[in-house]
Amino acid sequence: MIEIVDKFLEKHNLKNPDNTFIVGFSGGCDSLCLLDILNEFVKKYEFKIVAAHLNHNWRGEESLQDELSCKNFCESSNIEFISETSESGPKTEISARELRYGFFLKIAKKYSNSSIFTAHSRTDNAETIIYRIIKGTGINGLQGIPPKRMLEEIPVYRPLLLVSRNEIQDYCRSKGLIANVDSSNFDISYKRNFIRQKIMPLFDEINFHAEKSITSLAKIAMSQNNIIEEYLSRIRSEIFVDDRILSEKFINLSIDVKKKLIYDICLEQNLDYDSKKIDNILEFINNNLHLKSGSRYSLTKDLWLFVNSKQIYLITKIKATENKNEISISNEGEYQIPGIDMAFSLAKYTGGANAKFPSENALIAYVNLPDASFDLTVRTRRDGDFITPFGMTGSMKLKKYLNSKGVSQHNKDELILLCDGAEVLWVAGVGLSNKLKVVNVPSHVIELKSVKV
């Protein structure tokens, strides 16, 4: 087992004396084994190890004794020990996992060249795969626990994934290491405990090497997924532009590829998913691909999938209509817009009679504003706004105008408007009012420009 960990360190180029390893240490058999082995290598490779113990405080005095046992082991082994007691919260496996990794990450960020080590074993991997199968996983889920993953900018390593729990227990016995026994591990109301105590023994009755066979399935799934990803990378290069899917390209994909792309979005955003949810999302996309202004599908409280006839992409928030950035325009000049890195400019036109007018979706426009003094505002939209579209004589509600221009709902409140009261004269980047139409030579140039605040 020591050789397995040594080869793991070599494979991942971790034998640098500048490294600091934050080792998740519950005091149970698995983490005790890993911490002891890494401590054996400290003299040889001269890296630093820190034992990180999170007391979930679920078991009262027993939790306190576990923490004390971990502290005593580290003191006797000359290992730096950091512990923390979590506040009361939901006693769920997911909550506990999130708290642990948040704790590990907080410690890791305090050290340079740091990484996190956890003691997941081959047995844990097999149990995880079974759990995911029961939930209805895809090929990604069948790959099991990865030997390395990133937690923000910090790598997380699992050196014991090739080792069974029985082998780990044998190691501890051989070294005289006394592990903590967590009584909650025997509570089969927790799904993973139920799998460990009730389901895995039945698998062993069918196949004595069930654990190895299940983890072999993970290797096969990884190989198959690599083939799929190689194929999909070519498709993504054709249909994605700046993290947005081109709707006209998406339409022509097969149903299975469409579902895989949706599945990948769920994985990337850490969303709970099943086949029904993926089908619902695909149905929503298909039903809204023809819309110019588009529609959005709620994935979580703060995340939506937006679909229109041009693009499919994620939006993380929808801004409420506010007018905090409203400014008055009374003279020619440049006006900084509060709250954003943009400025509005109003200047006399000096380009002569042969003006080449910008496109309507440009952030600059040539206009006719003959008055020497102005009583205008630059702001975002609000209820009651209306506009007389360029080339028309009648007015319409701004909302209807924006819909006709294909402006998505979540972008409407971010548009910068030049207004005369409730009448909109210019929607920057969208279009101009007929009230500013130039007959011969423009009187002014209006522009929205980026500035450094």
One domain for residues 331 and 311 = no
pLDDT of res. 295: 87
Compare 413 and 419 and report the one with higher pLDDT: 419
What is the pLDDT averaged over residues 116-134? 94
221 assigned to some structural domain: no
What is the pLDDT averaged over residues 25-54? 96
230 assigned to some structural domain: no
Statement: the pTM of the whole predicted model exceeds 0.85: no
pLDDT of res. 447: 95
107 assigned to some structural domain: yes
One domain for residues 203 and 119 = yes
One domain for residues 129 and 31 = yes
What percent of the chain shows pLDDT beyond 70?
Answer: 97
One domain for residues 309 and 417 = no
- Total structural domains in the chain? 3
Q: CATH code at 297?
A: 3.30.465
Mean pLDDT of the chain: 90
**Span 315-355, pLDDT tens digits:** 886 544 444 568 999 888 999 888 788 899 999 998 887 77
Q: Which two tokens stand for residue 37?
A: 């082995």
pLDDT(75) > 60: yes
What percent of the chain shows pLDDT beyond 90?
Answer: 64
- Any idea which of 3-17, 80-94, 187-201 has the lowest mean pLDDT? 80-94
**Span 252-283, pLDDT tens digits:** 999 999 999 998 898 888 787 778 889 999 99
pLDDT of res. 320: 42
223 assigned to some structural domain: no
One domain for residues 262 and 332 = no
Task: State the Cα torsion 343-347-351-353 to the nearest 10°.
Answer: 120
What is the pLDDT averaged over residues 32-46? 96
Containing structural domain, residue 369: 327-450
One domain for residues 142 and 271 = no
Compare 145 and 59 and report the one with higher pLDDT: 145
Q: Please name which of 47, 31, 39, 177 lies closest in space to residue 104, comparing C-alpha atoms.
A: 31
One domain for residues 334 and 286 = no
One domain for residues 287 and 368 = no
One domain for residues 51 and 106 = yes
Domain end point (choices 271, 292, 315): 315
237 assigned to some structural domain: no
322 assigned to some structural domain: no
- Beta strand 303-307 pairing with 295-300: antiparallel
Domain end point (choices 165, 195, 214): 214
pLDDT of res. 323: 47
334 assigned to some structural domain: yes
Q: CATH code at 55?
A: 3.40.50.620
pLDDT of res. 60: 78
pLDDT band per the 50, 70, 90 thresholds, residue 137:
confident
**Span 348-376, pLDDT tens digits:** 998 887 778 889 889 999 999 877 668 89
pLDDT of res. 217: 92
What is the pLDDT averaged over residues 72-83? 96
138 assigned to some structural domain: yes
One domain for residues 72 and 181 = yes
Domain end point (choices 266, 293, 315): 315
One domain for residues 296 and 351 = no
One domain for residues 171 and 310 = no
pLDDT band per the 50, 70, 90 thresholds, residue 14:
very high
What is the pLDDT averaged over residues 380-409? 90
